[in-house]
A = this chain, B = another copy of it.
Amino acid sequence: MRWFAICAALSPIASASALPIQPSTPTWTVDEVLAIPEVTGVGLAHDGQSFAYILRIADIEKDRPAFELHILDLTNRRDRIVIRSTWIELVRPMPGKASWSFLADLGDGVQLYAFDNSGRVSPLVVNGDTILTGNADGAEVGYTFTGPLRIGVAFYDWSPDGQHLFYSIVRPGRFERRTRIDDEVVGAGLNRRPAPPVSVEFFHRKIGGEPIRIATAQGTDKVARFLGGLPVWHADSVDFGLQTGDRGHLRMTRYRWTFGDRAAVPLANAAPQPAGSLARGPQGGLLSVEWVGEVRHLLEHRSDGTSIDYGPTSLSISDPRSTGNWSAPGGSFTITAVRLAEAARYALLRIDRSGRTRLIQGAESLRHCDFSPDLAQGVCVNEGLTRPPRFVAVSARDGRITPIRSVSPRHDAIAPLRSEARTLTNRYGFKFRTFILYPRGFRPGKRYPAIIVNHGNDADERFAAPDMQWNYPVQVLAERGYVVALVNEPYASQSRILQAANDSWTGCDGKTAPSEVRRLIWLNAVESFRSIIAALDAESLIDPGRLGIAGYSYGSQLTNVAVTQTNLFKAASSGDGGYLEPAAYRSRRCGYGAIYGGPPSDPLAYPDYVAFAPSFRARFVSAAMLQQLAEPWEGAIDFHQALEAAGVPSEMSLYPGETSASDETHLFHIPSNQRAAMQENIAWFDFWLRDIEPPIGSDDARRSRWNALRDKHQP
């Protein structure tokens, strides 16, 4: 490949860049966090000369997210923006051409377009019958984490030879005016903004031919709606999946659409667990990592029902945070995106037909990769917890990684914070991974206030990943003199017992007792917090009297359990949660059955709620509790009211949507909200851990409100 020769000849670019950077010595501020661009899609042109990618950025002026579609010319490292839009996703190279396809809203809702290297854009599939998606009145819940959006085309994929297109469109569903019964009533109450019915239609189109509808599914079918049916191509057919059942684990049934027969036939073999994508091995079978005895093995399941065992592995594949799977021509080897659980970083795994496997990895992560059709060379995003993302060339032959160009020179210009990754073992005997960010100008021997930021297992070698740090600006907190520990819970893949507890929780199989489910999941994470605090205290790095904890979503559960089951923390910020409270039982019976053994009104289950539901333990809390919300979750309100009743300082803040007809999303998407929420977290921890009064700003009442909370509750 010509461009590889050119890349290999390049000197490492590190932070060198021709683009203007910040003057003087930039440090982390909330605005710098807000300005971090996120690569959300990549596509290497089949001629290998250029690389298209999507950047999600915050449009500060319009106070909304924006997307840019870039082309990076690999022959000269020049980068240009092809399109800006409120939505761009799924950029993919057009097989055999120096052009790409992508989904974007260019004014007619989200449709499928093609563009070539000259930047010319043309529509490929347009469905005028769009649906509104987002956290808004009249909108389907689409998990796009942006403002309300109109969607026509939802997903597409090219056959490897480029001769077939598989795609799905969404349509307004027919509202069936009928009385709903029992569990349907529970379902009707699930969303704050009741969603209209939506249908999903799968199409196959041979290039030059007419589209043929393959299947229709309801919008509630997650495999169809959000995973695009997880297509897998064969020479004369394409396999796709539809959701089966809804209890616990997501399941699917696979179908084969044969181009000649024009029929979708269910496949007899067991379907894999739906995930971010499906990965294939060199024998053409689907890859999976499964327990064999007490050890996890990498397996390939061929369509004839036989399997190949590539031996023990600690990797995970098909992690939604890093997907990708490429097959070399002739099936000599495949490359698959993988995650290293203990190291908490992302890499690539090459699997040869011979059975040999080899990791392609750097010191930090490789994500957002794409390879040329011959797999000789690829391009990835290389990033780490303190390394801003950059594009690198990756050799599938020898694993060599060569820098191409920075994604954000502005952030390269900030001197990296001192960081450190550790794997510790907690008192329950389970290993967990932690990343420590040191305060700027850290002086050994000085004890710093410290904040634990947690969200299950999202702390890893990614740069300011929004799903990890949410509205907790860990970089700014470190600049302000906090030790920040990004702590993962013990990873489930280290132990069959942990795996079983998680399966009991998500699949309510009843195999793990409620008290053990609680111990192995939430209390296990909290024990990990205790362990890292003990370690950092023993090193005289932190002041154990000034500890905070923050986490959103699943991390809010861990935060709420941490403050109700330990007295380690003096302040907490729990984001957009409420799970574990009795309030959610009615719609979460499977998981709550696993955690508590029954409904809160069951006298036999009630002691389990008393023992564990955060609001029932409010009187044991010593941390001032801030709950930032995208929606007025019942569980969050209940916890707040219980804390208030127990005399514990507590505040809820609900961040607004664009209008009264829409809400902020679980991952905040409105830049002014993100900024305000980050500032509120800083002010909250400063107030409770360092006695710094909140700045007089837009919210004049905050200072007096917090002072009143402190005065009222101070012993």
Whether A181 lies near B583 (C-beta < 8 A) is no
Q: From residue A2, how far is it (CB to closest CB) to chain B in Å?
A: 52
Whether A637 lies near B189 (C-beta < 8 A) is yes
Whether A632 lies near B185 (C-beta < 8 A) is yes
Whether B676 lies near A629 (C-beta < 8 A) is no
Q: Is A306's beta carbon under 8 Å from chain B? A: no
Q: How far is the CA of A601 from the CA of B648 in the complex (A)?
A: 14
Whether A651 lies near B181 (C-beta < 8 A) is yes
Interface residues of A in 335-389 (CB under 8 A from B): none
Interface residues of A in 583-634 (CB under 8 A from B): 583, 585-586, 589, 598-603, 610, 613, 615-616, 618, 629, 631-634
Contact of A632 among B186, B618, B631 (CB under 8 A): B186
Q: How far is the CA of A701 from the CA of B196 in the complex (A)?
A: 24
Contacts of A179 on B, CB cut-off 8 Å? 653-656, 673, 676, 699
| Complex: chain B residue closest to A633, CB-CB | B189
Q: Is A192's beta carbon under 8 Å from chain B? A: yes
Q: Is A194's beta carbon under 8 Å from chain B? A: yes
Whether B705 lies near A181 (C-beta < 8 A) is yes
Whether A137 lies near B193 (C-beta < 8 A) is yes
Q: How far is the CA of A693 from the CA of B655 in the complex (A)?
A: 52
| Complex: chain B residue closest to A197, CB-CB | B660
Q: From residue A603, how far is it (CB to closest CB) to chain B in Å?
A: 7
Q: Is A178's beta carbon under 8 Å from chain B? A: yes
Tallying the copies of this chain within the complex gives: 2
Whether A196 lies near B601 (C-beta < 8 A) is no
Whether A178 lies near B582 (C-beta < 8 A) is no
Contacts of A181 on B, CB cut-off 8 Å? 651-654, 701, 705
Q: Is A25's beta carbon under 8 Å from chain B? A: no
Q: Is A645's beta carbon under 8 Å from chain B? A: yes
Q: How far is the CA of A406 from the CA of B564 in the complex (A)?
A: 68
Whether A182 lies near B652 (C-beta < 8 A) is yes
19 A-B pairs whose Cβ atoms sit less than 8 Å apart in the complex: A137-B137, A137-B193, A175-B659, A177-B658, A179-B673, A181-B652, A182-B651, A185-B629, A185-B640, A186-B632, A189-B632, A189-B633, A194-B660, A583-B583, A586-B637, A601-B613, A601-B615, A601-B616, A601-B638
Q: How far is the CA of A653 from the CA of B663 in the complex (A)?
A: 29
Interface centre among A192, A195, A663, A673 (most CB of B within 10 A): A192
Q: Is A184's beta carbon under 8 Å from chain B? A: yes
Whether A600 lies near B586 (C-beta < 8 A) is no
Contact of A661 among B180, B196, B629, B663 (CB under 8 A): B196
Q: How far is the CA of A631 from the CA of B192 in the complex (A)?
A: 12
Q: How far is the CA of A585 from the CA of B641 in the complex (A)?
A: 10
Beyond A178-B656, A179-B653, A180-B654, list 19 extra A-B contacts (CB 8 Å). A175-B659, A175-B660, A177-B656, A179-B656, A181-B651, A182-B651, A186-B637, A188-B632, A188-B654, A189-B634, A189-B637, A196-B659, A583-B634, A585-B641, A589-B641, A599-B615, A599-B641, A602-B642, A603-B610
Contacts of A641 on B, CB cut-off 8 Å? 186, 585-586, 589, 599
Interface residues of A in 654-671 (CB under 8 A from B): 654-656, 658-661, 663
Q: Is A138's beta carbon under 8 Å from chain B? A: yes
- Are A599 and B642 also in contact (CB < 8 A) when A188-B654, A193-B137, A586-B637 are? yes
Q: How far is the CA of A616 from the CA of B178 in the complex (A)?
A: 31
Chain A window 229-262, contacts with chain B (Cβ cutoff 8 Å), 1 for yes, 0 for no? 0000000000000000000000000000000000
Whether B653 lies near A180 (C-beta < 8 A) is yes
- Are A645 and B180 also in contact (CB < 8 A) when A197-B660, A632-B186 are? no
Contact of A599 among B197, B645, B654, B655 (CB under 8 A): B645
Q: How far is the CA of A632 from the CA of B186 in the complex (A)?
A: 7
Interface residues of A in 696-715 (CB under 8 A from B): 699, 701, 705
Q: From residue A484, how far is it (CB to closest CB) to chain B in Å?
A: 24
Whether A185 lies near B652 (C-beta < 8 A) is yes
Q: How far is the CA of A598 from the CA of B616 in the complex (A)?
A: 12
Contacts of A600 on B, CB cut-off 8 Å? 582, 600
Whether B656 lies near A180 (C-beta < 8 A) is yes
Contact of A654 among B137, B184, B637 (CB under 8 A): B184
Chain A window 143-185, contacts with chain B (Cβ cutoff 8 Å), 1 for yes, 0 for no? 0000000000000000000000000000000010111111011
A-B CB proximity, top 6 nearest: A189-B632, A137-B137, A601-B615, A196-B660, A180-B654, A188-B632
Whether A645 lies near B602 (C-beta < 8 A) is yes
| Complex: chain B residue closest to A180, CB-CB | B654
| Complex: chain B residue closest to A189, CB-CB | B632
Q: How far is the CA of A661 from the CA of B184 in the complex (A)?
A: 17
Q: How far is the CA of A640 from the CA of B184 in the complex (A)?
A: 13
Whether A598 lies near B194 (C-beta < 8 A) is no
| Complex: chain B residue closest to A639, CB-CB | B601
Contact of A137 among B177, B661, B676 (CB under 8 A): B661
Contacts of A192 on B, CB cut-off 8 Å? 189, 194
Q: How far is the CA of A618 from the CA of B631 in the complex (A)?
A: 31
Contacts of A651 on B, CB cut-off 8 Å? 181-182
Whether B137 lies near A634 (C-beta < 8 A) is no
Q: From residue A628, how far is it (CB to closest CB) to chain B in Å?
A: 9
Contacts of A589 on B, CB cut-off 8 Å? 641
Q: How far is the CA of A181 from the CA of B663 in the complex (A)?
A: 15
Q: From residue A46, how far is it (CB to closest CB) to chain B in Å?
A: 44
Contacts of A676 on B, CB cut-off 8 Å? 179
Interface centre among A177, A192, A676, A705 (most CB of B within 10 A): A177
